[in-house]
Amino acid sequence: MSKKIFIILFSFLLLNLFVFGEVSIEGSNQIPKQSEISKIFTSFENGMNTGAVKEFSLFFDTETYISLENGVSSYFGKDQSYYIIKEFLSTYKPIRFKFIRINDSAETPFAVGQFTYSFQGMRRTSQVFVSLKHSEDSWKISQITIN
Amino acid sequence: MIRKIKSQKKYLIYFGVSIIMIAMVGIISPLISTSLVTKKEKSFEEKISLLKTETQNVISKREATLVEHLSTLRNTTNSVSLYDNLGKEEIFDLVNGSEFSNIGVGIYDSTGQLIIWNNNHPLSNNQFKNFQKTFLNEKSFFYDSSLKIYLSVVSLNDDRAIYLSIPLEKHYQLRNEYFEPLNLSGQLSNKYNVDLKIVYQSRLTSNVDKIPKFSFDILNSKGNKIGYAYITNINVNEGIENLESITFLVQSIFAFTAFIFLGLWLFSLIDKTKYSFIRILLISIYILLFRAVLFLLDVPGKIGVAELNNPVYFSSTFGYGIVKSPMELFLTVITLITILFVIYKSVAAKGIKQIQKSSNNILATTEILFLSVLFFVILRIFGVTINSIVFDSTILYFKETLLFSDLPTTFMYLNVLLIGSGFVLLSVLLVLLLLRSVVRVSDKSPIQNLFFLFFFLQLFGIIFDLIQLDPQTNWFVRVVFILIALAIGYFIEFQKSSKNTVLLTILFAGSFLSISLLSYFNFDLEKRSLKTIATEMTRTSIDLLDYYADKIIYEVAQDDYVKQKLLNKSNDFNSEAFVIWSNSALSRDSKSSIINIIAPDKSLLGSFNYEFDEPFIWDWNDEKSDINEVRKVSQKIEGTENQIIRIITPIKHESKTLGFVEVSLLHDVYGFGIDQTEEFLSSSNPISKISINLDFLKIFEFKNQKLSYYYTDALISEPETEKILNAKFTENNEAWINLLLNGEGHTFYLNKDIYNGDEEIIAVGLRDKDVTWSLYNFFKVFFIHSIMILIILLIVAAANFSKIDELKISFRMKILLALLLVSVLPLILLANYFKEITEEKNSDAVYYKLGKRADNVNQYLDNYFYNSTLNEKSILDKAVNDLRIHFSIFEGENLIYSSEGVYYKIGLLSKTLNAEAYLNLFYKGEKEYVLNESIENYVYNTFFYKATIGDKVYVISVSDAFNRIQLPMTGTELNIFLFGTYSLAIILIILLSTLLANQISSPIEKLTKATKSVGSGDLDIQLQSSSKGEIKELIDGFNRMVRELKKNQVELAEVERESAWKEMAKQVAHEIKNPLTPMKLAVQHLISTYKDKSNKFDEIFNKVTSTLITQIENLTNIASEFSSFAKMPSIKLDDLDLVALVKETVDLFIDEQCKVELKADLNEATIRSDREQFQRMIINLIRNSIQADASNVVITIELSEGDIMIRVKDDGHGITDEILNKIFDENYTTKKEGMGLGLSLAKRFLDITNGIIYISETSPKGTEIIIKISQD
């Protein structure tokens, strides 16, 4: 009997891991109503500066196009996008990131930035293009190009 | 005991030492780091010195190769006249042979005419003539062909020039699987952690800038400077970074070691734990912690293969990142399977027969309900997991036609197999628990309970699916999942299947179910691909192109490449334009674009067009002043909604304009990312990575309710159009609908966009039957899984076979292997033969079709070349358009025309005729010749046809790289056919062979075991068999023989006993007689003396009584001796390996319904005893357990305070209190046919051999008998 209780408890542990054990990249669903576009770009800028993907991963679309300096270029789901950018930033260590142009009035808002990073201990710079798309009643990051 | 505690403490001490070491390393590391900072400058100088030496070494080595080959060639060719055809043929053969496979060779005559060459030679006739004067005779130098840099050496003589070259670096790059990088400076940069730039100086080169500070010269073997290299960037913190990484590694190793010691200490505690659930809990926690340590130390990332740690292939956010890559997923799955296995072992060890009917039905019913819910929750989690495997991955599990495509894909197949097997194991575990719960409330037979459970779970599953909002499996998987779990549960519980059989079944069931789910979700993925295409169609906005335009112009202005080329007046600006394009984002994202390089006088120097054809016009005349800075305009193309962005930048040097670079980008609103360019040039774009076949796609675009664009040959009817226009869109403006096109069902994804009051609907669809699910997909993965299962079984077998002498192939295995060999081998040979034949036929078809095209071109040109008013170029262009054939024409070795002019223009294709074709057509008298050519690693077929048109001889070349050849069966289709059918056949053969081998060998194996048992004295054995025919007769005969043997043994024992009694009586009589005679005589003598009243009576009386006493003593001794003689059979003492003997005995019961298991803590235990009698005693004990209806008998051997303890524990019905005290008595038995000697004999045998036997516990749940053997 005691063994059975243990197994049941263990199954619950597994269940808990499966169902609830996800990284909370979703964060809060409460996306600000005003200035949400600039908020997304600001979050992206902050995240890229610190290497904290969580800062902007909640804004990823269900399918985000990602094209990176390391050759990665494809559409990725929300979860995968998080780790792909995280992995990228762990190799291309951020030094500085700044948007040099933001267009938040276009049909698909976009921003162009400059990303300075350290790769294999050497300082380099890449251009970044980020565009947004209106999806599920809010703005989402639909494309990130770093090259 | 004290020693044990000490050894446990030892682990704790090691643990502590490891922790201290982690701290120590942490303290020492910063001290070393400080020292490194001071040495930074020195290491920088050392690095430059090393770099210089290595660069020079690489160049010198290549130069030596060139010089060596030059010498060989000169020696061979000096005596041969360049105008002697026979001699030239020989040299052609030599330079096109394997010796010169990596070296370019060109031999020119005194007029600079190319006479002999191979396909690596980079120069055309004209180029050699132009550069001839600048070449260094007999000295190596660099040659820049615009696309590549070569190290070259030339030997200039009076009558000939020999030019040899080795490529060092490519200026361009292609982003596809065919590109083979060649980058010397890149290789050196990576090796030394710097950015190294090598300036390869040809005689024409002049420098753009001054030579930088950190540079070194590159010299040839004659001491001439032929280039220089300089460092533009260096990792100044390399030493510190290395130290940090070493520190982390060392600390990780110590942390790892600490954890291992902690584990050893923990396991020594676990051993003492009485409760198995606590033991399982502790083991599980430890395994989970071990996994966590691996994760936290990032062990997979540090020691694993980089590809397997790349989240691109798979990454999920489950478990806080413990499955963020294929390797992390693998480790996590292995961890969970290990824990499951530990639990399973514990549950399965306790047989269902031990379960008693419960008095509390409510509790048992609640358990059944709870476990059933858990069962389906597990099934749902299984679905969710496979869903994640499909959607959180870029791997297309069913699109790749190769069996083993790449490492990450193969590895993910392994993960899928393990996940499937893990869930099957979990489901079996739950079924075992469910069965126990059912037994507690049911009086039915096991089979009835099993059937009840099957129907109950099926019904429960339907209800569970109905109440779920989004079920994660389909009905087929659900039904099969239940069936498999119950079937395996049944075989474990009631058939006592062997461990290996259970493992094999779980693995195959896991494979089947996981592939079924993979296919199920792949169908969804394919549907989602329609959405991806719609997204991709709208991804490229004019803003993105604007960004690309700015970026490329910025990069061109930053890079000295174009400046250098303009300054040095490169004669091949088409190649330079291609190089700019290929290194830009335009190539990466396959954007329709044009790169123009323009001279200061506004004339075009060179250009490269990619899917955008537009003649060059200087369109910047509206500028009032000359262009001194970047200019950009956006133009709309009339009649369409397409736009062009043009951007231009001046290229200046010392305030002088050297020229301009102009980039034009086409924003094609209808383009949806399908690359129409040849495969060797196109980049791998997102659309190429979707799982559906693009040829089957159907796309419609509606603007303001009217069809404005379509990409399909299918017609859409009015009602179907209405369905699209009136579809119910979600708030994201998406909709999924089913349409009928040409009478066939289609699934369409719709996306609506409203901009500036205009409504646009894009509909992307696919025919329902075009989804890629097929027999081939299933069997391809199943085939891969089968190979993996085989490897897993081999690993398990290797782990179990600790002794090499135990490695033997069973009779069954021999039959199986023989059957497989005779059936699978011909099938494989047949498949291979079929493949070869088809490939051969395909090659023939390609050659025939290319030859036919070449013939058509020949006839066309023959008709028009001299009978038309058009010029030569126009006729050739017309031939391409009229015939729709792409071809090239050579006059002699020189290209004069090609419909693929762009590839010759940019230098990807050589303007000199293929050397092998030239040799065969002009020297070996062939009229036509076909061969494989390649661009990078892209291989294609080219047909060369020697044609005489008018009075001139031409060579027409037609290749399948530019002409689509329809084959009866493509390589992909062939693979699909072979896998689909042959894999199915092989799997069926394996199953049938296994069944057959099992059927043949099973009775033989049973008989072998039974014979061994009989040999060991077990005559109670009787074999059961459902076989018919000879095998049945054999088994019946064996059973009869054993019965007869037993009967005879009893009779023989009876006869022997009788005979022994007779003999003994005779002996007793004889022995007794001996003392009786003197006794009789003595008594008679005494009587006579008494009657005679002799005065010696007293003396005689004493003598006679003394004699009588002596003889009586003799009689006593005789009686004692006989008594001793009857006591026991003689004992033959030997040194025995107890563990081996008990194992051997246990093996005799392998085929019994009852599971007999040996658990020995000791590897070896030597006792002094009689081998035969000891084994007979163990057999008797096991047989007693079996006769007590036991389903499990566990024999454990352990050392306890110097004595050896053998515990024989069963789950039989136990011994009642009434007979408990009598079982060791002689002649006491509960069996009808027993003699009642078993346990009493065992007791007597052990009394003699320094051992004891007793019942330690007995109850209706089982009995434990303990044999204790003293080793003193």
Q: What CA–CA distance (Å, rounded) separates B252 from B731?
A: 51
CA angle at residue B1140 from B1139 to B1142, to 5 degrees?
65
Q: Which residues contact B368 (CB under 8 A, 6 or more apart)?
A: B434, B437, B438, B441
Q: Which residues contact B659 (CB under 8 A, 6 or more apart)?
A: B562, B566, B597, B598, B599, B600, B605, B650, B651
Confidence of residue B246 (pLDDT cuts 50, 70, 90): confident
Strands B1203-1210, B1262-1269: pairing kind = antiparallel
Instruction: Please tell me which residue, B120 or B44, carries the higher pLDDT value.
Output: B120
Burial of B924 (0-12, 13-18, 19+ CB in 10 A): exposed
Q: Which of A7, A17, A137 sits opposite B433 (nearest CB)?
A: A7
Task: Count the Cβ atoms, other than its own, within 10 Å of residue B938.
Answer: 17
How confident is the model over B330-334, as a mean pLDDT?
A: 94
Q: What is the DSSP string of B241-284?
A: HHHHHHHHHHHHHHHHHHHHHHHHHHHHHHHH-S-HHHHHHHHH
Alpha carbon of A9: minimum distance to chain B alpha carbons (Å): 10
Q: Which of A83, A122, A123 sits opposite B311 (nearest CB)?
A: A83
Q: Residue B1233: what pLDDT?
A: 46
Interface test with B, best of A4, A24, A72 (most B CBs within 10 A): A4
Give yes or no for A87 touching B (CB within 8 A): yes
Cβ contact A11–B755 (<8 Å): no
Confidence of residue B1145 (pLDDT cuts 50, 70, 90): confident
Confidence of residue B713 (pLDDT cuts 50, 70, 90): confident
Cβ contact A137–B394 (<8 Å): no
The model's pLDDT over B431-480, given as tens digits with 9 standing for 90+, comes to 999 988 888 887 777 788 888 899 999 999 999 888 887 888 889 999 99
The model's pLDDT over B1039-1067, given as tens digits with 9 standing for 90+, comes to 888 888 888 888 887 887 788 778 777 77
Q: Which range in A119-123, B481-485, B640-644, B891-895 is most confidently predicted, on average pLDDT?
A: B481-485
Q: Is B434:B368 a contact under the CB 8 Å cutoff? A: yes
Q: Which of B193, B315, B325 sits opposite A120 (nearest CB)?
A: B193
Q: Residue A24: what pLDDT?
A: 40
Give yes or no for A83 touching B (CB within 8 A): yes
The pLDDT > 90 percentage for chain B reads 23
Residue (of B764, B766, B738) closest to B751 by Cα position: B764
Q: What CA–CA distance (Å, rounded) separates B1178 from B1016?
A: 11
Q: What CA–CA distance (Å, rounded) separates B889 from B934?
A: 18
Q: Which of B532, B543, B550 sits opposite A103 (nearest CB)?
A: B543
Residue with tokens 């050196």: B188
Q: What CA–CA distance (Å, rounded) separates B236 from B245?
A: 15
CA distances from B95 to B92, B106, B116, B405, B916 (A): 5, 9, 8, 35, 10
Q: Is A70:A88 a contact under the CB 8 Å cutoff? A: yes
Q: Residue B386: what pLDDT?
A: 94
Residue (of B244, B248, B395, B383) closest to B308 by Cα position: B395
- B499, amino acid identity: K
Confidence of residue B170 (pLDDT cuts 50, 70, 90): very high
Using a CB-CB distance cutoff of 8 angstroms, which residues of chain B are in contact with residue A112? 547, 550
Confidence of residue B207 (pLDDT cuts 50, 70, 90): low
Q: Residue B775: what pLDDT?
A: 64
Cβ contact A131–B429 (<8 Å): no
Count A/B contacts: CB-CB distance under 8 Å.
157
Q: What CA–CA distance (Å, rounded) separates B1256 from B1250?
A: 19
pLDDT surpassing 60 at residue A21? no
SS3 B568: coil
How confident is the model over A56-74, as a mean pLDDT?
A: 89
Interface test with A, best of B174, B236, B315 (most A CBs within 10 A): B315
Q: Which of B280, B367, B544 sits opposite A129 (nearest CB)?
A: B544
Instruction: Tell me the pLDDT of chain B averaged across its residues.
Output: 83
Q: Is B395:B409 a contact under the CB 8 Å cutoff? A: yes
Q: What CA–CA distance (Å, rounded) separates B926 from B920?
A: 6
Report the DSSP beta bridge partners of residue B142: B151
Report the DSSP beta bridge partners of residue A103: A110
Using a CB-CB distance cutoff of 8 angstroms, which residues of chain B are in contact with residue A21? 318-320
Cβ contact A110–B547 (<8 Å): yes
Cβ contact B234–A5 (<8 Å): no
How confident is the model over B1184-1200, as a mean pLDDT?
A: 84
Confidence of residue A28 (pLDDT cuts 50, 70, 90): very low
Using a CB-CB distance cutoff of 8 angstroms, which residues of chain A are in contact with residue B346? 3
The model's pLDDT over B397-425, given as tens digits with 9 standing for 90+, comes to 877 666 677 889 999 999 999 999 999 99
| Among chain B residues, CA nearest to A25 | B317
Q: Residue B14: what pLDDT?
A: 86
Q: Residue B106: what pLDDT?
A: 92
Q: Residue B1235: what pLDDT?
A: 44
Using a CB-CB distance cutoff of 8 angstroms, which residues of chain A are in contact with residue B339? 10
How confident is the model over B1030-1034, as a mean pLDDT?
A: 81
Q: Residue B1257: what pLDDT?
A: 85
pTM above threshold 0.80? no
Burial of B967 (0-12, 13-18, 19+ CB in 10 A): middle
Q: Residue A27: what pLDDT?
A: 39
Cβ contact B316–A74 (<8 Å): no
CA distances from B1004 to B62, B657, B761, B812, B1034 (A): 69, 95, 73, 9, 9
Two structure tokens written together for B853: 């095209």
B510 φψ region: left (φ > 0), alpha (ψ -120 to 50), beta (else): alpha
How confident is the model over B1158-1173, as a mean pLDDT?
A: 79
Task: Please state the separation of Cα B76 from the chain's center in Å.
Answer: 51
Q: Is B449:B432 a contact under the CB 8 Å cutoff? A: no
CA within 13 Å, CB half, B653? 19
pLDDT surpassing 90 at residue B27? no
The pLDDT > 70 percentage for chain B reads 90
Q: What CA–CA distance (Å, rounded) separates B529 from B875?
A: 45
Q: What CA–CA distance (Å, rounded) separates B130 from B571?
A: 10
Cβ contact B275–A2 (<8 Å): yes
The model's pLDDT over B537-571, given as tens digits with 9 standing for 90+, comes to 777 788 889 999 999 999 888 888 888 888 877 77
Using a CB-CB distance cutoff of 8 angstroms, which residues of chain A are in contact with residue B367? 4
Residue (of B773, B714, B718) closest to B746 by Cα position: B714
Q: What CA–CA distance (Å, rounded) separates B1162 from B1164?
A: 5
How confident is the model over B687-711, as a mean pLDDT?
A: 80
Q: What CA–CA distance (Å, rounded) separates B826 from B863?
A: 54
Burial of B306 (0-12, 13-18, 19+ CB in 10 A): exposed
Could you give the dihedral angle defined by the CA atoms of residues B590, B593, B597 and B601, in that order, rounded to the nearest 10 degrees?
Answer: -170
Cβ contact B241–A121 (<8 Å): yes
Q: Is A74:B689 a contact under the CB 8 Å cutoff? A: yes
Cβ contact B194–A23 (<8 Å): no
Confidence of residue B7 (pLDDT cuts 50, 70, 90): low
Least confident among B168-172, B204-208, B799-803, B863-867: B204-208
Alpha carbon of A91: minimum distance to chain B alpha carbons (Å): 12
Confidence of residue A116 (pLDDT cuts 50, 70, 90): very high
Cβ contact B544–A131 (<8 Å): yes
CA distances from B615 to B596, B604, B780, B1112 (A): 10, 10, 50, 141
The model's pLDDT over B732-748, given as tens digits with 9 standing for 90+, comes to 788 999 998 888 888 89
Report the DSSP beta bridge partners of residue B763: B700, B750
Cβ contact B394–A124 (<8 Å): no
Cβ contact B195–A65 (<8 Å): no
Interface test with A, best of B193, B314, B317 (most A CBs within 10 A): B317
Give yes or no for A95 touching B (CB within 8 A): no
| Among chain A residues, CA nearest to B312 | A84
Q: Which residues contact B182 (CB under 8 A, 6 or more apart)?
A: B148, B167, B168, B169, B170
| Interface subset of A 18-37, CB within 8 angstroms of B | 18-19, 21-23, 25
Using a CB-CB distance cutoff of 8 angstroms, which residues of chain A are in contact with residue B321? 23, 83
Look up the ipTM and state it: 0.81
Q: Which residues contact B137 (CB under 8 A, 6 or more apart)?
A: B154, B155, B156
Cβ contact B347–A103 (<8 Å): no
SS3 B418: helix
Q: Residue B1127: what pLDDT?
A: 56
Cβ contact A84–B312 (<8 Å): yes
How confident is the model over B207-232, as a mean pLDDT?
A: 79
| Among chain A residues, CA nearest to B339 | A10
Give yes or no for A1 touching B (CB within 8 A): no
Confidence of residue A18 (pLDDT cuts 50, 70, 90): very low
Interface test with B, best of A8, A82, A120, A134 (most B CBs within 10 A): A120
Cβ contact B433–A6 (<8 Å): no
How confident is the model over B937-952, as a mean pLDDT?
A: 90
Q: Is B219:B56 a contact under the CB 8 Å cutoff? A: yes
Q: Is B393:B412 a contact under the CB 8 Å cutoff? A: yes
pLDDT surpassing 50 at residue A25? no
Using a CB-CB distance cutoff of 8 angstroms, which residues of chain B are in contact with residue A124? 233
Q: What CA–CA distance (Å, rounded) separates A124 from B509?
A: 52
Confidence of residue B204 (pLDDT cuts 50, 70, 90): very low
Task: Please state the separation of Cα B628 from the chain's center in Å.
Answer: 58
Pure H helices in B1138-1252? 1138-1147, 1171-1187, 1217-1220, 1238-1248
Radius of gyration of chain B (CA): 46
Q: What CA–CA distance (Å, rounded) separates B172 from B682?
A: 13
Q: Is B169:B187 a contact under the CB 8 Å cutoff? A: no
Confidence of residue B1226 (pLDDT cuts 50, 70, 90): low
Q: Which residues contact B152 (CB under 8 A, 6 or more apart)?
A: B66, B135, B140, B141, B142, B143, B163, B164, B165, B166
Q: Which of A3, A135, A147 sits opposite B276 (nearest CB)?
A: A3
Could you tell me where the beta strands, DSSP code E, fall in B65-220? Answer: 104-109, 114-117, 141-144, 148-156, 160-170, 194-200, 215-219
Cβ contact B544–A84 (<8 Å): no
The model's pLDDT over B362-397, given as tens digits with 9 standing for 90+, comes to 888 888 999 999 999 999 999 999 999 998 888 888
Q: Which residues contact B1197 (CB under 8 A, 6 or more apart)?
A: B1138, B1139, B1142, B1158, B1159, B1160, B1161, B1162, B1165, B1204, B1205, B1206
Q: What CA–CA distance (Å, rounded) separates B905 from B573?
A: 9
Q: What CA–CA distance (Å, rounded) separates B1135 from B1141?
A: 11
How confident is the model over B1208-1225, as a mean pLDDT?
A: 82
SS3 B547: helix
Report the DSSP beta bridge partners of residue B1124: none
Task: Count the Cβ atoms, other than its own, within 10 Å of residue B520.
Answer: 19
CA within 13 Å, CB half, B200? 24
| Among chain B residues, CA nearest to A110 | B543
Strands B604-610, B593-598: pairing kind = antiparallel
> Mapped to the 3 state alphabet, what secondary structure does B297-342 carry?
CCHHHHHCCHHHHCCCCCCCCEHHHCCCCHHHHHHHHHHHHHHHHH
The phi and psi torsions of B705 (rounded to 5 degrees) equal: 70, 10
* Element containing residue B1233 per DSSP (H, E): none
